[in-house]
Structures are given as C-alpha cells and as structure tokens.
Amino acid sequence: MVVILLGPPGVGKGTQAVRLADATRGEHISTGDLLRAARREGTELGQKAQGYMDAGELVPDDLILDLVRDHLTGVAAEASILFDGFPRTIAQANRLDAVLSDVGRQVDRVVLLQASNETLLKRLSGRRSCSECGAVFNIYFNDSQGDGICDRCGGPLLHRIDDEPDTVAHRLQVYEEQTAPLVAHYQAHAAGLVRVEAGRGTEEVFVDFRAAVG
Ligand code: AMP
C-alpha cells in the first residue's frame, strides 16, 4: 500500500506519519527529514537544498525526485510506504506515478490533514526539533522533559530557521500556490482523497487518520 499524507506546514503530518509507520511497520518517507539529514551530513544535495529551505521555498522538483528515487531503491518491494511532505507540486505527483508504475505499484490512498491558519501558526511557532535525531516537540502541546534537550537522544532542541514568523508566512503562501492544487488533482485521481480534521489532539486525529488509510 502506498499512502500520501498531504497538508500545510504545521498541520501535524510528521507526528501522524511516525505514529502510523510505527503501528503498521510501514516505511515513512519524509522528504523534509531526508533533506535535513542531507544538510547535517553536508552532502552536495544538502548544500543545494539549504538556501531554498531556509527561505521557505520549495526545493526544485528534479532534486526531490532524485532523492525519492534513490531512497526507494532501499525499500522492500512489498513494504507499505507513507509519503509525508511529498509530492508538493503537480509535477512531483505525476513523476511519482511514473516512478511507482516502473516497479508495478501505484498511489493507493491520499489523506489531507487540515486545520485553521491560527492552529498552524501556533504549532509552527511552538515547534522545537532535535538537531541530532530530528524528533519533534512543541512547547505548547508536547514539551520535552529536559529543558531544551531531546527526550529521545539527548541532543539539543532548536527552533527551525524556517519556523521563524516571516518564513512561516511565506511557507503557507507557497503551500497555497504550489501544493494546494494537489487536493483537486487527487480528488480526480484513481486513489481519491480523504480529509481529516487535524486541529484536535494527536490521539483523536490518529484514530481518524488510521481509519482513512484503511
Ligand atoms: P517539511 O519538513 O516537510 O516542512 O519541509 C521543509 C522544507 O524542505 C520545505 O519548506 C522545502 O524547502 C523542502 N521540501 C521538503 N519536501 C519537499 C518537496 N516534496 N518538494 C520541494 N521542497 C521540499
């Protein structure tokens, strides 16, 4: 099964995707996490992506597709895959269909997480991410036990540069312009699209998210 998790920045895609992948032993593929890992490792891709990410712009489609294709070569043919933050443009969606079709697979489900702009802004301003393992906390909803220290690995928690207020506003605008058209795209796609209201607690959202994936 191949699932796509769509939704604006801050809606909780990463949190829900990690939970589902844990519950189903599926492969969670977050292009944002892969790009941040490439930056930490100082790879050529990480260096190319850095300026776009810090400015809240999308990284060019060619770089993203290479990244996804490379990553998929290490995934077992029968593994469930959960894409989080990918695709983000219609071109990426079309190219994903082609990549999957080459290995006899297809997009099976698309879930849209939605929440008010007020909720998104609060989640993004409160988000703190571990600079070592990528674990995500929130000072309002789900704080770490140690002050500024990751509960999972002990690394330092940072506020992402792209979660600063001006960049957040730009990312929401980029979402509306370049990613929101995927909603209509997938409504018309064989996979269809299920909406889940995500402006609630993690547990409540997860129940509906899991049901939507089926
Ligand atoms: P995320 O963690 O999903 O919010 O992604 C953080 C940043 O990585 C985004 O603001 C983009 O700069 C970049 N990024 C992640 N996924 C994609 C994608 N599928 N296409 C283009 N840029 C991406």
* The pLDDT value given to residue 207: 97
* Residue to probe by mutation, ligand 1, list 88, 95, 166, most atoms within 8 Å of CB: 88
Q: Which atom of ligand 1 is nearest to the CA of 86?
A: 19
What is the distance in A from the centroid of ligand 1 to the CA of 28?
A: 15
4 CB within 6 A, ligand 1: no
* The pLDDT value given to residue 142: 78
| Mean pLDDT, residues 3-10 taken together | 97
**SS3 sequence of the chain:** CEEEEECCCCCCHHHHHHHHHHHHCCEEEEHHHHHHHHHHHCCHHHHHHHHHHHHCCCCCHHHHHHHHHHHHCCCCCCCCEEEECCCCCHHHHHHHHHHHHHCCCCCCEEEEEECCHHHHHHHHHHEEEECCCCCEEECCCECCCCCCECCCCCCEEECCHHHCHHHHHHHHHHHHHHHCHHHHHHHCCCCCCEEEECCCCHHHHHHHHHHHHC
Determine how β-strand 2-6 pairs with β-strand 81-84: parallel
31-40, 41-50, 93-102, 141-150: least confident range: 141-150
Instruction: Using the predicted structure, report yes or no on whether residue 92 has a pLDDT greater than 90.
Output: yes
Residues 6 or more apart whose Cβ sits within 8 Å of residue 14: 30, 32, 33, 84, 85, 136
Length in residues, the chain: 214
pLDDT digits (tens, 9 = 90+) for 158-192: 998 888 888 999 999 999 999 999 999 999 999 99
18 CB within 6 A, ligand 1: no
What is the percent of the chain where pLDDT is above 70?
A: 100
Q: Which atom of ligand 1 is nearest to the CA of 35?
A: 8
How high does pLDDT run on average in the chain?
94
pLDDT digits (tens, 9 = 90+) for 25-73: 999 999 999 999 999 999 999 999 999 999 999 999 999 999 999 999 9
What is the rounded distance in angstroms from the CA atom of residue 113 to the CA atom of residue 213?
A: 12
First to last CA, the chain: 10
58 CB within 6 A, ligand 1: yes
* The pLDDT value given to residue 141: 81
Q: Which residue, chain included where needed, has tokens 């600063």?
A: 164
Residue nearest to atom 1 of ligand 1 (CA): 32
Instruction: Using the predicted structure, report yes or no on whether residue 140 has a pLDDT greater than 90.
Output: no
* Residue to probe by mutation, ligand 1, list 50, 58, 120, most atoms within 8 Å of CB: 58
What is the distance in A from the centroid of ligand 1 to the CA of 22?
A: 22
How many structural domains are present in the chain? 1
Residue nearest to atom 19 of ligand 1 (CA): 86
Q: Which two tokens stand for residue 46?
A: 């990480």
Instruction: Using the predicted structure, report yes or no on whether residue 198 has a pLDDT greater than 90.
Output: yes
What is the percent of the chain where pLDDT is above 90?
A: 80
Q: Could you tell me the residue range of the domain that residue 148 belongs to?
A: 2-213
What is the rounded distance in angstroms from the CA atom of residue 111 to the CA atom of residue 99?
A: 20
Q: Label residues 5-40 b or e (16+ Cβ within 10 Å = b).
A: bbbbbbbbbbbbbbbbbeeeebbbbbbbbbbbebbe
Catalytically annotated residues: 13, 88, 127, 160, 171
For position 94, which CATH number holds? 3.40.50.300
